[in-house]
Amino acid sequence: MLVEKGLLEEKIREAINGAKNRNFRESVELAVNLRNIDMKKPENRIDQLITLPKGLGKQRKVGVFARGETALKARDANADAVISPEDIDELAKNKREARKLANRIHFFVAEAPLMPEIGKKLGPVLGPRGKMPQPIPPGSDPTPFINRLRNSVRVRTRDKMTFHAPVGTRDMDPSDIADNAVEILKAVENKYENAQQIVKSVYVKTTMGPAVRVI
């Protein structure tokens, strides 16, 4: 194990206690610095969706590309956006609105038959942001996907040696935040055989607070 939960919890408490109170709800973030690996090779990069066991403290926004029964169920599940095939055409014509949607929504799911159209018309906006939808069977209930994504984060290094991921909010129990951080670090361990040699350092911090080194 890269870092024991107890140490993570201790450092998270230190980061929260060492940060000034702000007039907004700060996130707690994990920063991981890597080494000894060639990030120019795509196979060495991390691009993974991780569901946090204790949630983020504030839910992620989820959009659903769907029609018919699936669209109705998405609305019942309080999806943050329900995008019809007609909306896809409109967004393709209005790149500004497409960008606004992509920036507002954290994750998307889409009925599988709509994926080619989404890729063709909205891929240039969604792809670079790592927000291409997760496909679901046509006519299926999107509710379980929406609920899972609301407590998920995407870890994406691209070609960088550092990545950041939110693991909670500062008003959460540090033990719960530590559980979330463990889940992120597990993904790193599962990605690299020799994770101990690949991970250079790990830090935790609140949004505007000082970084506290864990390892």
Break the chain into its structural domains and give their ranges. Answer: 5-57+151-213, 62-149
Neighbouring C-beta atoms of residue 159, cutoff 10 Å: 11
pLDDT number for residue 1: 86
Instruction: Spell out the CATH class of 62-149.
Output: alpha beta
Would you state the structure tokens that stand for residue 210, as one six-digit string?
């000082």
Residues of the chain with pLDDT under 50: none
Would you state the structure tokens that stand for residue 157, as one six-digit string?
């290094």
Q: What sign does the dihedral 109-110-115-118 (CA atoms) show? A: negative
Q: Which CATH superfamily is domain 5-57+151-213 in?
A: Ribosomal protein L1/L10, rRNA-binding domain (3.30.190.20)
Q: Is 135 exposed, middle or buried (0-12, 13-18, 19+ CB in 10 A)?
A: middle
Q: Using one digit for the tens of pLDDT, what is the confidence trace for 24-41?
A: 999 999 999 999 999 999
